[in-house]
Structure 1
């Protein structure tokens, strides 16, 4: 048939646009459930705050936190108040756990006396009876999860400071296993946060001596 040059001819076949299918997401390479994502932490980043910290997890989670205080309360006898602001720059999974670690690091950088440095660690469990708990899940893993858990630990005292979880399809023994896995993850992350705080103190001391 003759070609019509007066208009743009579309393709003979067309397909609707779409992202990766669920089958392609499920086909992602399995990982070690006990493996930790790479962690980068730096304290003393903001000059406007008394204390600050930046925490980044491999996979895209980025949290910036600033701390001020303690300040005098408006009501007499109420004691001092601490102000801590956390900004989630990018959510790549385990954002709450990263924010807990960043807030504790910022408060310590501000010189606030604490019993210990709180470390946060997140976990999730995918669908299926044989699914295992994953340490520091990414955003795709959290999206498919049927149960989630976030734990905060004071490693030097070996005391749990916070536990937040929810979901269905997991027996009590599985939750106990997840808690132990999360506490182990907090102990493994603790040296990274401590070194970040020590480096910030050395930079501050070097700047004061010049």
Structure 2
């Protein structure tokens, strides 16, 4: 009997291995809401630039708790039609979720809900990155950046903003500054506090969410994206201040990652040319 090699012989639903792993007692208390964490505490962030050889610039960003984002950048490339008026370049952003990114049952690939969520995330990514890129230096050119969410452990859009900015800088694109993303969420209830870099369980229970993008060297906010239940203006102002502080604290990690990638690239060039 002939075999159908085009068929994916896999289960309709899949679960991540973490469901069968032992969960620390502290993590169980946090998910149940019995032990609220410090709202000013940042989740440890790991960033590395220059990982992909197929892209002109790339970056990998991982947050403690499971969020993993891989970003790649290409360009500048010719995009304008002959005879079109000269102008600034275009920044094209793409955001995709891996089928195994979330917990629980796998979403059907190509569904309308999944495509709409990815389009909204790509639009938010472009809104956050455009003020950081010197598009006027690339007339009639196109810059492309793609973010692939490998695992969603919370604060995924903020991690994608930081990773995409790092990938553009690694590609040699002229930028005013790195765009640093920081996410917040507010617990339900009238006295709910804002939390920096929420995890997946905290975002699921949140009444409001806020994602902030900052250019720290210029002290300029490039994007503020909020959703959820409304609240007093003072509460949102406090969230913005808290997010700005988080971006300033994350900035050295991304900058050092870019410097390390530049040193590795320089060392590889010196080895190839035979210089000391």
Q: Which of the five TM-score ranges fits, normalised by the shorter chain?
A: 0.7 to 0.9
The answer as to 2:67 corresponding to 1:61 is: yes
Q: Which has the larger radius of gyration?
A: 1
The answer as to 2:52 corresponding to 1:46 is: yes
CA–CA separation in structure 1 for the residues paired with 2:34 and 2:45: 22
Equivalent residues in 2 for 1:184-195, closer than 5 Å: 184-195=245-256
Give me the CA root mean square deviation.
1.4
Give the drift of 1:25: 3.9
One of 135, 140, 148 as aligned partner of 2:196: 135
User: 1 or 2, which has the higher strand percentage?
Assistant: 1
SS in 2 for 1:112: coil
Structure 1 alignment gaps of length 5 or more: 1-22
Equivalent residues in 2 for 1:189-204, closer than 5 Å: 189-204=250-265
Structure 2 alignment gaps of length 5 or more: 1-28, 88-139, 272-276
State the TM-score, normalizing by the size of structure 1: 0.87
Q: 1:119: which partner in 2?
A: 180
State the TM-score, normalizing by the size of structure 2: 0.66
Aligned length: 188
Q: 1:20: which partner in 2?
A: none
The answer as to 2:148 corresponding to 1:87 is: yes
CA–CA separation in structure 1 for the residues paired with 2:70 and 2:34: 30
Q: 2:236: which partner in 1?
A: 175
SS in 2 for 1:131: coil
CA–CA separation in structure 1 for the residues paired with 2:234 and 2:46: 33
Higher relative contact order (CA 8 A, sep 6+): 2
